[in-house]
Chain A
Amino acid sequence: MMQKRDLTCIGCPMGCQITVELDGEEIKSVTGNSCKIGDRYARKEVIHPERTVTSTIAVTGGDKQRCSVKTKGNIPKDMIFECMDAINRVSIPAPVKIGDVVIRDVCRTGIDVVATRNIHKA
């Protein structure tokens, strides 16, 4: 069954409105883009949209009570809230260093959640 998806390209400030025609997982056409970046972006975005999630995590015994974290790589876009749930449920003890893994393989994405700042002991 043919399907149409409309996207806004994020490649540059032009923000081309791109239309992708799909047959299941197969891309039939990409139109509306004005350069190759748009084509590449649209093909990835319709099949496997991915995002990096950044948030904070609770810290105990530190000079701050929250530590910023990120997924070390992109995770599937539809797992953002599941990932947030996992992040919200955890608290970690100080000290924390940038790059410390705070959740391994979050939601079985194969991606770790890591600290993005240093927290010293209180």
Chain B
Amino acid sequence: METTEMMSYDIVIVGGGPAGLAAAIAARKNGTDRILILERDKELGGILNQCIHNGFGLHTFKEELTGPEYADRFIQQVYEMNIEYKLDTMVMDISAEKVVTAMNRRDGMFRIRAGAVILAMGCRERPRGALNIPGYRPAGIYSAGTAQRLVNIEGYMPGHEVVILGSGDIGLIMARRMTLEGATVKVVAELMPYSGGLKRNIVQCLDDFGIPLKLSHTVVDIEGKERVRAVTIARVGKDMKPIPGTEERYTCDTLLLSTGLIPENELSAGCGVEMNPVTKGPFVNEIMETNIPGIFACGNVLHVHDLVDYVSEEAAKAGEAAARYVQSGCAEASGDRTPIRLVATGGVRYTVPSTIHTDRMDDLLTVRFRVGAVYRQAYVSVYFDDERVQHQKKKIMAPGEMEQIILQKKKLLERPDLQTITIKIEEDDTADPMKGSSDGRNMSHTNESSGAADSTAQADHLKEA
């Protein structure tokens, strides 16, 4: 343990989950030798290790895998490529100069000078406190992911009788898991008038077992001084406030919370990475680079995903870009042109990326986004400055489903003066004055959500509630 000498790596990857693994592999494939993955858990794979349900990897591997199996495909590649990693290692600090400070039992506290840093820390669950749920604070209240770890990895049962708040996919998956392990799940309450989870999960995790889903409901009281004894839920009005008189009390010993995921960006913010207040993740450009040259972000630390396949895809792009960055002598590779700004408006909450340097984008660039409400028979419109160039009708869009459009490099190059690309939802086709000028040839548009049934196989755990 030499404390005075600083280690040095071409690329340091913070996090050995699906994003970090895919980034590392892509960086190695693109010719980077000295790569180090820092992982805080005692094994690689991240949250996938506890996501033992199936539905992962249809895009990437064309077969349906469980979380651990999906992770293992990447872990084996990391082994084969001899990519270095340190387990049980916590990153304590990242500086804007790309010095990473980390710590573990064996090496103590150490600093690494990195040519490039890839942020792949994932996300955490929103705790009860953030929801201001009134009542006592007894044992038996778990975030769904913590319960998932206890049941699936450690082999312990949190309780016998369960109420779940939040119908995000993690909550739904845990409803089934607890049921299969012998617990009784009494009800799943969801604050919103729609579930954030997939239809498949509602059918196969709740309906299959006769578990009621109560939309527009929330928890208004928790009883039990030592251990949860009962939970009261009530209907909420349009203002999301509980309606007096609609209370229903459920005796139970466990309350699981599946009420949202928050990208874990304390380290990113600490080194001056600019954050998007909507995603709670960094703003990135077309190569997943943050505002600090050479610091990249991918996976759920960037924005919370539905599909682990997309995490892997984005992370590979970040890994490849980081490799190019270090090979080019860490020079900023983005030409002189001011980047094109992507504007999310009219029902579109955010886009990833949020800026594009046309000269270094790939021939096709996927722009991912989420909508803020449920839209039926509405249009995804794309404007190049003031001109609408894309107007695509969608049967349904929902906040729980990530959407995407694909931009073609050659179309952007045709417009050297282009400043902004606006993506918005338009509900009424006739309202738009540019109607008729819609030109689908400008970009191809994929519509995952109305694709084949198979494409709904999801990385359930990775999804925002």
Contact = CB atoms under 8 A, between A and B. Distances in A.
Direct A–B contact in the complex, CB atoms closer than 8 angstroms: yes
19 contacts: A11-B199, A11-B452, A11-B453, A12-B395, A12-B396, A12-B451, A13-B198, A13-B396, A13-B401, A14-B199, A34-B395, A40-B453, A52-B64, A54-B54, A70-B54, A80-B208, A116-B68, A117-B68, A117-B72
Interface stretch (B139-147, B149-157, B382-390): B149-157
A66 B69 contact: no
B232 interface: no
B181 A58 contact: no
Contacts of B312: none
B69 A65 contact: no
A80 B180 contact: yes
B207 interface: yes
A84 interface: yes
Interface residues of A, number: 34
A98 B74 CA distance: 14
Interface of B: 49, 52-54, 64-66, 68-69, 72, 151-155, 177, 180-181, 198-200, 202-204, 207-208, 395-398, 400-401, 449-453, 456
Nearest to B395: A14
A35 B66 CA distance: 28
Given A12-B450, A54-B53, A98 B203 contact: no
B177 to A, nearest CB: 8
A14 B69 CA distance: 30
A58 B49 CA distance: 16
B52 A98 contact: no
B398 A13 contact: yes
Given A12-B450, A98-B69, A116-B69, A64 B153 contact: yes
Nearest to B152: A56
Contacts of B181: 55
Given A11-B456, A56-B52, A70-B52, 10 more contacts: A8-B207, A10-B199, A11-B452, A12-B449, A13-B398, A14-B395, A54-B52, A55-B181, A68-B66, A70-B66
Contacts of B155: 56, 58, 65-66
Interface in A51-92: 51-56, 58, 64-66, 68, 70, 77, 80-81, 84
Interface string A100-122: 00000000000000001110000
A13 B394 CA distance: 11
Contact of B66 (A7, A14, A51, A116): A116
Contacts of B68: 68, 98, 116-117
Interface in A1-42: 7-15, 34-35, 37, 40-41
A15 B449 CA distance: 11
A118 B72 contact: yes
